[in-house]
Amino acid sequence: MKKPQWYIVISILSILIGSLACAPGIISGRISTATYYPYPANATFFVVPSDRLTLTEKNLQNLIAREMEKLGFMRSTESNKADLAVVYSYSIGAGSTSVSSSPDFVWGGQKVESSTKYPRYFSVGIIDRRKTINSKEPVFVWQGEIYSSGSSSNIAWLAESFIPELFKWYGKNVSDKVFITPRL
- Structurally, the chain folds into a number of domains equal to 1
Q: What is the pLDDT of residue 139?
A: 95
Q: Which residue segment(s) compose the domain that 93 sits in?
A: 26-183
Would 19 be classed as within a structural domain?
no
Residue 57, pLDDT score: 92
Mean pLDDT within 147-168: 93
Q: Calculate what percentage of the chain has a pLDDT beyond 70.
A: 86
Of residues 67, 75, 47, the one with CA closest to residue 171: 67
Helix or strand holding residue 147 (H, E): strand 140-150
Q: What is the CATH number of the domain that holds 33?
A: 3.30.160.670
pLDDT digits (tens, 9 = 90+) for 70-84: 999 999 988 889 999
Q: Do the domain assignments include residue 124?
A: yes
Sign of CA dihedral 137, 138, 141, 146: negative
- Per-residue pLDDT tens over the stretch 30-82: 999 999 998 988 899 999 987 777 999 999 999 999 999 999 999 998 888 99
Q: Who wins on pLDDT, 109 or 29?
A: 29
